Amino acid sequence: MPDSRPLSRPYIPANRRRILCVFPRYIPSIGTFQHAYSLVPGVRAFMPPQGILTIAAYLPKEWEVRFVDENISPASAADYRWADVVMASGMHVQRRGIQQINDRAHQAGKLSVLGGPSVSGCPEYYPDFDILHVGELGDATDELIRHIDGQCERPTQQMRFTTQQRLPLTEFPSPVSPLRSLRSYLLASIQFSSGCPYTCEFCDIPELYGRNPRLKSPAQILKELDAILERQPQGAVYFVDDNFIGNRKAAMELLPHLIEWQQKHGYPLEFACEATLNIAAIPKLLELMREACFYTVFCGIETPEPAALRSIAKSHNLAKPILESVKILNSYGIEVVSGIIMGLDTDTEDTDGRILEFIQQSQIPMLTINLLEALPHTPLWRRLEKEGRIVADQERASNVDFLLPYERVLGMWYRCMREAYAPESLYQRFAYNAENTFKNRLAVPVTAARLSARNIYVALQILTRLIFRVGLLSDYRKTFWKMAIPAFKKGDIESLIHVGLVSHHLIQFARECLQGEQGAAFYSEKLASAAKLAESAVPSA
Ligand code: SF4
């Protein structure tokens, strides 16, 4: 009978164990910026994975823990030989990589354990792992540690530990501690809260992490920021919270601490987060975010159509007219990044035109434009399953049987990617933001922390690479220089680097999509043929 009592802390294990924690590769996506990596010295991956690093930090101190992020380099045969237990984690999109980790663990004769969002949402995807850890860090984790301490032979039947009692976030260990350096990552990451009060039809967050956001304390966040700073991050720190304003009061209470931390350390970092668009209706919060140097907010705008937003239970985006909300965020120096979903039941023959019009009006430079995908354990999945509209065809770019013909939806997506990420159009939207958004940011003092030798070296390296790859070799070099020359004249190197890096990735990624090398849905794995199919279906622009 498994023992589900919480571990007494500090837990003193009876046995020594070697735990190999492996995080699988992502498939390339528009939001992971892989085309920017080669422009930044040392960078090989997007950001550190919070979940598996938190688990690694939670394991007994007496155990040896080795962490391998396969986005940086794959785990070696020696890593597997070294380990007693192999732990993996990941999202649905990493399913293939997760399975490969299990295969390698078993080839080496090691016990395999899987936790994280994908297995928590869909344990039935993973019949081959020895142990499944379902749910967040909590009583199941304690049970798992006790089990591994007792024995680490492979069981004859799969075992499943399911969290009933989540560990309060105030008791979470710092996920930064297993890392020696952050220099291989484009961004650092931090988590303040978990869960979201809303119930958007397509989203699995409320069912996986709850509707009542749970929170770390400001003191924990500051300690993690200190640790991030010590490990030399390359750029911004991304708050990976599902919704930074899921608990508005808590966000409001945290921000003065962030401002004070920035002042004390000479504004060494800038921040980014994800939040619902109704953040635009909270001016006091936005003012504090400006003072804390939040430069980017990802908002799941999803669609510019009010009726469509209501139909997917996302009417909280309509607290104010959408374009007005975007402008309000811009007025606090915040660049909006927007999620867009195509293939909704409310889409019509001219949805692509209306999305492109919205992109032009809002002047949002970066949008993650994806096809609707039904995730297990969402209201959308249940509705479509009842309607017989879940399609299990691996050749398709989405598992949803759209109301419009599949080829038509794909054709509209193709057109949006092609036009939104045409270099002229993208650079023009960035130019708008340079004029109307970036200038509204807090005028931060020139401090030793910002002008460190390391920062200057990194900036010079990026500039050199940008000038060579984009300014000399790319077929849109004229467009680049139209932005770069005025930025050089103004001495606005920060904007130049930001626009150059992000645009390079978006343009390259969109081109790969159009050539059929990347996919139309973030969640789907089998996508390479999708855009090719779309190409034959797209009407001329
Ligand atoms: S607001 Fe965002 S995180 Fe919350 S349910 Fe909707 S899509 Fe999910």
| Packing angle of the helix pair 493-514, 477-490 (nearest 10 deg) | 160
Name the CATH topology of 18-162. Answer: Rossmann fold (3.40.50)
- Band the pLDDT of 231: cuts 50, 70, 90: very high
Place of tokens 């797209």: 538
Q: What is the DSSP letter of 251?
A: H
Q: Where in the chain is the domain with CATH 3.40.50?
A: 18-162
Confidence at 61, pLDDT banded by 50, 70, 90: very high
Predicted confidence (pLDDT) per residue in 343-361, tens digit: 999 999 999 999 999 999 9
- What pTM was computed for the model? 0.92
Q: Say what the pLDDT of residue 535 is.
A: 36
Ligand 1: atom nearest CA of 243 is 3
Q: Ligand 1, residue 274: give the atom nearest the CA.
A: 2
Angstrom distance (rounded) from CA 474 to CA 476: 5
From residue 35, alpha-carbon distances to 29, 289, 424, 516 in Å are: 10, 29, 19, 17
The per-residue pLDDT for 28 is 86
Average pLDDT over residues 410-425: 97
Q: Is the peptide bond before 10 cis (omega within 30 degrees of 0)?
A: yes
Domain span(s) for CATH 3.80.30.20 in the chain = 169-436
How far apart, in Å, are the Cα atoms of 48 and each of 154, 227, 351, 454? 29, 13, 36, 21
Bigger pLDDT: 520 vs 331? 331
Any atom of ligand 1 within 6 Å of the Cβ of 299: no
Instruction: State if residue 208 touches ligand 1 by the CB under 6 angstroms criterion.
Output: no
C-alpha–C-alpha distance, residues 499 and 501, integer Å = 6
Q: Ligand 1 centroid to 274 CA: how many Å?
A: 10
Which of the 8 DSSP states describes residue 467? I
What's the pLDDT score for residue 521?
55
Q: Which long-range contacts (CB under 8 A, 24 or more apart) does 363-366 make?
A: 363/326, 363/429, 363/432, 363/433, 363/436, 364/326, 364/336, 364/337, 364/338, 364/429, 365/335, 365/337, 365/426, 365/429, 365/430, 365/433, 365/499, 365/502, 365/503, 365/506, 366/337, 366/338, 366/502, 366/506
Please identify, in words, the CATH class of the domain defined by 169-436: alpha beta
Give residue 387 CA to ligand 1 midpoint distance, Å: 23
For the ranges 381-390, 453-462, 484-493, 513-522, the lowest mean pLDDT is seen at 513-522
State the chain's mean pLDDT as an integer.
93
Tokens of 483: 């932005």
Contact 156, 15 (CB under 8 A): no
181-207 pLDDT, tens digit each: 999 999 999 999 999 999 999 999 999
Cα(205) to ligand 1 centroid in Å equals 7
**196 CB within 6 A, ligand 1:** yes
